[in-house]
Structure 1
Amino acid sequence: MTPLDALSGTLWNALTVVVGALLGLTLRGRLPERIAGVVMQAVGLVTLLIGVMNALDLTRVASPPGLVIGLVALAVGAAFGEALRLEERLERLGLALQRRFRGGGRFTEGFVAASLLFCVGPMTIVGSLQNGLVGDPSVLLLKATLDGISAVALAASFGAGVLGSVLVILVYQGGIALGAGAVAGALPDPALDPRVLLVNGVGGLMIVGLGLTLLEVRRVSVAAMLPALPLVVVLYEVVTRVLPSAAAVVPAAAPLAGVLGSP
């Protein structure tokens, strides 16, 4: 499998975001603010739903408890990210791109919101791993469709900053796919690997925070929580090495049944 095969889904994802963002910019002057606001609310609601569904992956890691590891990783990661001023650094990067490309007044907000929405979540991780390991871009193609639709609404609301997120998609998502291709076969089934489930779950919680921000319910410093993604894997490895028997994954339907109180 060639590197181009591993990057096929990522390249298509980047293309749909560019097309969607350009369409959103075209509609920006013609789309009434009240309509753009309603569309953004719809995106926010879908973002919340996706985040909640992804966060349930934490409950699929039964031993050690995924919810506990996820909570510790998110709390410690957020504190570490805040100490490093990650959100401020992302904003500075957005401002640098704004000066270079002469974006709109909300360039930074659009860049950060789109980058997080498009790159933090299980579809990015699992899809990139699947594309890199076996050359199957199907998950990323679905993600590309969702991202393209979201890019229309984001660009109509935030402006050209959404286009800057394409660079993040290519570097982050493409990097995962290429890395997975380099270690093909190391993970027999990425979708069931506890470490992938934990990253997906923590990413889902961050997506919930982004949804709350998009809905203007409360501004959540999601960027500061980014260190939680690698940290949750480190915590899992430490716990399972200290307690070798503590490693179990439950079936996908079980967590939802538990939440609903089924016997």
Structure 2
Amino acid sequence: MAVIKNMSNSAYPDLFIISLAIGGILGTAIDLDGKFNKLVGKYSKTNLGQGLSTAIILFCFGILSILGPIESALNQNNTYLFTNATLDLVTSLVLASTYGIGISLSALVLFIWQGSIFLLAHQIAPFLTSEFMTEISIVGGFLILASGLSILKVKSFNTLNLLPSLLVPTIMVFAHSLIRRFL
């Protein structure tokens, strides 16, 4: 699991808690989950909204979904993309068996997400330090864990409301690198 694996490598071990707290407050204030479910509810009377939000988080915020397009763009190595595609295919089949064929809509979001990362890879590469990837992996891993617990009905999370949590380590690591650069 990304949270446990990367925690020992974290330069800021409490950052993920701060990220989840700040991100959760922002996401709840904006009501990302409610707005998303309302939008999906216009087109579906099933629990497709929960399925799509789970699929989007699982497909977009895993480490392979971020590293895959970067590795492909910078080094012409598609191994991570193919591995991620295989994992996403299996996961989407499982999700579709529960939430229906509408899960295929998450492919559009994934295409835009990974396509954007691929196109921006050369510009963002200097910011993608191991420190940044560790902190993002911890928060992203927690979001994936929360989605899994919601699917299993162990604990219900409005995981979309936690998405702004990914901005906190991004801002923190970027600010820290700027400070180090000027000092």
Report the AA paired with residue 142 of structure 1.
T
Residue 223 (str. 1) matches residue 160 (str. 2) = yes
Once the two structures are superposed, residues 54-105 of structure 1 have per-residue CA deviations (whole angstroms, 9 ceiling, x without a partner) of: 553243133xx2x212211121011101101111122133234x2xxxx562
Once the two structures are superposed, residues 185-219 of structure 1 have per-residue CA deviations (whole angstroms, 9 ceiling, x without a partner) of: 636xx5x5211221111100111111111111001
Other-structure match for 1:89: 35
Task: Classify the secondary structure of the residue corresponding to 2:153.
Answer: coil
Structure 1 segments of 4+ aligned residues over 6 angstroms from their partners: none
The offset of 1:147, in angstroms, is 1.0
Change in 2 beyond 3 A, CA 1:86/1:130: same
| TM-score, reference length from structure 2 | 0.87
Structure label with greater radius of gyration: 1
Residue 169 (str. 1) matches residue 169 (str. 2) = no
The offset of 1:160, in angstroms, is 2.1
Residue 128 (str. 1) matches residue 69 (str. 2) = yes
Residue 156 (str. 1) matches residue 102 (str. 2) = no
Other-structure match for 2:140: 203
The offset of 1:176, in angstroms, is 1.1
Change in 2 beyond 3 A, CA 1:86/1:104: closer
Give the fraction of aligned pairs with identical amino acids, expressed as a percent.
25
Report the AA paired with residue 183 of structure 1.
Q
Other-structure match for 2:16: 70
Task: Classify the secondary structure of the residue corresponding to 1:61.
Answer: coil
Between structures 1 and 2, the one with greater helix share = 2
The offset of 1:136, in angstroms, is 1.4
Other-structure match for 1:57: 6
Which of 139, 146, 157 does residue 80 from structure 2 map onto?
139
| TM-score, reference length from structure 1 | 0.63
Judge conservation of contact 1:77–1:225 (CA < 8 Å) in 2: yes
Report the AA paired with residue 79 of structure 2.
S
The offset of 1:53, in angstroms, is 2.9
**Alpha-carbon distance in structure 2 between the residues aligned to 1:72 and 1:184:** 24
